[in-house]
Structure 1
Amino acid sequence: MKQITFASSEYTHKKIITKRDLFLNEMKKTVPWVRLLNIIEPYYSKKGKDNPPMPMPMPLKSMLRIYF
């Protein structure tokens, strides 16, 4: 077990903000996710009685955040 020093304990709560973090935070602010999900959801494929047997589709929220 490694002993924690005063210097290391001071910097444990300070996280470096990367360009990726900045970009994702900006996307959260600018894209109206709830409105976008409400528009697309009626047309998005869902597993049910009417659909032929197929693997479970990716959740819409995850799909939009990955591919948008």
Structure 2
Amino acid sequence: MTIRIPFGGGVGSPEHHSESPEGFYANTPGLKVVTCSNPDDAYWMLRQSIDSPDPVIFFEPKRRYYT
């Protein structure tokens, strides 16, 4: 199971939704937490997350949605 979660600011409203909760999930046993640094990483990490037998939370920077 792969869960995609947008995170971070970058949409002009820093007072809302600018936290990065990956630290909370990273301390959950049995759960993989990943985030990408560029579009190429995002593609390959998402493919690997979908193929993984473990549950994965895939954090996607919101700024990647607008580029």
Whose Rg is larger? 1
TM-score range, shorter chain: under 0.3
The answer to which structure, 1 or 2, has the higher relative contact order (CA under 8 A, 6+ apart) is 2
**TM-score, length-scaled by structure 1:** 0.26
Higher helix content, 1 or 2: 1
